[in-house]
Structures are given as structure tokens and as C-alpha cells.
Amino acid sequence: MGLLFKRILNFCIFGLTLILTLSLDAAEKSEPSGNPIENVKIRIVGDNGGLLTIYQKDLPNPPPRFLLFLRLNENSFEILGRGYIAGSQDNKYLIEIVRESIIKRPMEGDYVIPMAPPKDFPKLEELLVVGSNTVSQEPDLSEDKGYAQLDWGNLKNSSYLSTGFAQTNEYKDIYNYNPDSMHFLWYFDFLWHFGLEWSRINGKFLTNSYDKRQFYSEMNESKFSLHYRFRKFYRDQMRLAIKINSFTNDFLTENKDDYLLSSRTAGSGAGLRLSWERKEPQWQTEAGNPFTIQQIVLEHDYYPSLEIVDLDYSRGENSHGSTLTQQQVTISILTYLKWMPLFQRFVVDVSAGRSTSEIQFHGQTSAPTGLPNTILSEGHYSENYDYIKVSFGLRMDDMIGRFFKPR
């Protein structure tokens, strides 16, 4: 009797263990892998004057009134806030953001989940009230993502023309000048107002001397800028930034007479940058189209003072009163290739620009030892530089800045 009872007890324990194991295995298989809400498919596809847009086909008919904004990370998600459908246009719903609910600003590429309004959800009329006393401070909705861009290019059919004083530097004219360029731009993710920019242009070319001999000359130009960008305005697409610039230019020639001089130029100044940002810098493919005109940028820089030093002959003791003006317009074409490893965004920049220098020298002129000094004092010179630049590069997220950004 005792042996029979023991066998029945062992059988019950075995059966319970088997049932529990099968139950746990079924529960594990039923859990979604990867992101806990990976089945969310509704994405924000644009921004229309401050109203976010999603495709009408992504929602049932009739659509739910209220929506929740999400940002998906690799294995998690962030709740950004909520909004409601305010209208429709061109087969898209226009979504109004409930400002007091926003934790982070929803952007193009973030996700949307339909939701039913809870009992204490504000009525639509209350959402439209301006200047409500329930919010003590308006949240900052301009938390733009940082990004970095690195590109290389070439200046096509550019010309560098100089107007000399008497014969001095008269032959500093360069036609079909095609130097190479390198450019880096970094807007911080943790301090979205600020950015750094660096560019370099360098090339080697043939120039003529007074007696028609040809010599090689080389020009190296670099520029460093600190940006401070403001919030977007006018349909949330236009943006103004101010810049503090540092500029250097080294012109070196093998020529040894005063018709073409080697010189070094340095200056500091300020500038404005006006951009029409049609798409976000981290734009992703829409409806299978991998290309878009992401932005058009106008830039104007002014240097109120230049320090110019001649290396052989000297046109004067100082260059007080010399100025430099630079203007450029750039069209950025962005492509997003999701299947590419490591880097998915590539950018093509097409720029046209002009640089104008008005140069004045004061004080005593000089010539190398043993050569006659034929340079007139108090000389006035001008240099004009026109170019078209085409560059290709990478557009990347600011992963370094994101590490320092508080969560």
C-alpha cells in the first residue's frame, strides 16, 4: 500500500512539472522579441506649419480623435506626449500637439498610437484655449537633434582675379582654378543651439611672371566658425543662425618679382546663416523615394579687419582698413539607404559663392636685399574670387553629443 501511494505521488509530481514547463514555454513564445511595441507601424511623415502629418490610410475610418506620440529605440521606447487630429489635407491627417503634455518634441520619423480619450482627458474646446493658467511655463518644443556632416568636393571653373596697384601683384589672376575642398559641420545634440564648422580649400596651379615665364603657385584657405542657431519660424521650416568666424589664407608662389607676391592673410569676423529646412537633417525615406532636397542655405560673412603679411617684397607695414566679404548659397540633397551598413545617410552639396577683398597698405614698402624697391606706398588692391563647388559626404547622428545629453 505504501509503495502504491509513493508511485501515485511521483506520477502527480511529474505531471505537474510537465504542465508547468509547457506553460512557461508557451508564454515565452507568445512574448514579442526585440522592441516591446515593434508592431507599431504608424509614423509621422512631415510637419505642415507646426502641425504633424500622418497618412490617412494608416488609420481606420472613422479615425480616432486622440493620439499618443512615441519614439522607438533599439529595445525600448519613449512616450513623447499626445495630440489630436485637427483636420486633413492631401490624403494626410493634420495633428495638433497638446503642448502641456509634451515631454520631448515629436519629429518626422517618430511613431503614433491611436488611443481613446480617458474620462479626465481635456475637451477639444479646452485644448484650443490660448494662455491657459494651468501651465506655468511653456515647454521648449525646439529640442532639435544634433548631427554631423563630413564632405569632400571640388571647385569647378572658379576664377581668382586681382587688381594690382601700379604693377604690384598685377599677375595674381587665376582662371579655371579647380582646388579641392574638405568641410565638417557638427551641431550638438546636448546643446542644440550651438554648432562648429570647419572648411579648407587648397590647390596648386601655374601662374605667369612679368617676362612670361610660368611658375607654380599654391593657395591654402581655411575657415573655422562657431554657430548659434535659433528656433525655426515660418511654418517651422526657416531658421536663422549667427556665426563667429576665423579665416586664414596662404598664397605661395615661386615667382620672385613684385608682379606676383607670396602673402599670408588672417582675419576674424561674423556672419549670418539663413536656411530653409524642408526636411529634418535625419530625414528617412518616404514612399520608396531615397532622395530629397533637404535644405537651401544662404550665408553672408563679413571680416572688418584683415592682417596681411607679404613674404618677400612688402607692400607696407600694416594692412589696417582691409576687409573681406563672403557670400554663398548651398542646396543640400540628402539620400537615405537603410540597407547600407554603418552609414545610411549621404549628402550632395552644390554651392555657388563669391569672395571680395578690399586691401589697403600703409607705411614704408620694402624689397628683398639686392633688388630695387619698385612698390609704391599707400597701395590699394582688390581681389575677387567666384566659384561653384560640388561636394559629396556623410550625414551622421551626433552619437558623441547624445552620450552627454541628460535623460
Q: What is the rounded CA–CA span in Å between residue 219 and residue 253?
A: 9
Position 210 pLDDT exceeds 60? yes
| Amino acid 133: pLDDT | 43
The residue ranges of DSSP E strands in 46-89, in sequence order, are 46-48, 51-55, 66-72, 77-89
| Amino acid 125: pLDDT | 53
pLDDT band at 170 (very low <50, low <70, confident <90, very high): confident
| Amino acid 33: pLDDT | 45
Which residues, including other chains, have CB under 8 Å from residue 37's CB and lie 6 or more apart? 70, 72, 77, 113
For residue 192, how many C-alpha atoms fall within 13 Å in the half-sphere facing its CB?
Answer: 15
Q: How far is CA 35 from CA 17, 38, 45, 73, in A?
A: 31, 5, 21, 8
| Amino acid 40: pLDDT | 65
Position 31 pLDDT exceeds 50? no
Q: Burial level of 157, CB count in 10 A (0-12/13-18/19+)? A: exposed
Domain residue ranges of the chain, discontinuous segments joined by +? 46-118, 147-404
DSSP assignment of 270-283 equals EEEEEEEESS-TT-
322 alpha-carbon distance from chain centroid: 32
CB 233 within 8 A of CB 274: no
| Amino acid 153: pLDDT | 94
pLDDT band at 215 (very low <50, low <70, confident <90, very high): confident
Which residues, including other chains, have CB under 8 Å from residue 251's CB and lie 6 or more apart? 172, 217, 218, 219, 261, 262, 263, 264, 265
Q: Which amino acid is at 291?
A: F
**What is the pTM (predicted TM-score) of this model?**
0.66
What percent of the chain stands above pLDDT 70? Answer: 80
| Amino acid 142: pLDDT | 46
Q: Look at 14-23, 183-192, 292-301, 344-353 and tell me which has the smallest mean pLDDT.
A: 14-23
pLDDT band at 19 (very low <50, low <70, confident <90, very high): low
Region 248-270 average pLDDT: 92
Position 370 pLDDT exceeds 70? yes
Grid cell locating 398: 551626433
pLDDT band at 134 (very low <50, low <70, confident <90, very high): very low
Region 156-160 average pLDDT: 77
Q: What is the rounded CA–CA span in Å between residue 131 and residue 119?
A: 23
Q: Look at 22-31, 211-220, 279-288 and tell me which has the smallest mean pLDDT.
A: 22-31
Bond prior to 64 in cis (omega within 30° of 0): no
Query: 207 phi and psi, to 5 degrees?
Result: -130, 160
pLDDT band at 34 (very low <50, low <70, confident <90, very high): very low
Query: 180 phi and psi, to 5 degrees?
Result: -90, 155
| Amino acid 280: pLDDT | 86
Q: What is the rounded CA–CA span in Å between residue 255 and residue 311?
A: 12
pLDDT band at 229 (very low <50, low <70, confident <90, very high): very high
Identify how many contiguous H helices and E strands the chain contains and give both numbers: 4, 17
| Amino acid 86: pLDDT | 81
CATH of 147-404, one of 3.40.50.2000, 2.40.128.100, 2.20.25.240, 3.40.50.620: 2.40.128.100
pLDDT band at 158 (very low <50, low <70, confident <90, very high): confident
| Amino acid 126: pLDDT | 54
Could you report the per-residue pLDDT of 298-322, keeping only the tens digit for each?
Answer: 999 999 999 999 988 899 999 999 9
pLDDT averaged over the chain?
81
Q: How far is CA 264 from CA 16, 310, 361, in A?
A: 88, 6, 14
Kindly state the DSSP code that residue 99 receives in the 8-state scheme: G
Position 351 pLDDT exceeds 60? yes
| Amino acid 183: pLDDT | 96
Query: 25 phi and psi, to 5 degrees?
Result: -65, -40
Grid cell locating 230: 535659433
Q: Which amino acid is at 173?
A: D
Position 136 pLDDT exceeds 50? no
**Coil, strand, or helix at residue 249?**
strand
Q: What is the rounded CA–CA span in Å between residue 199 and residue 132?
A: 48
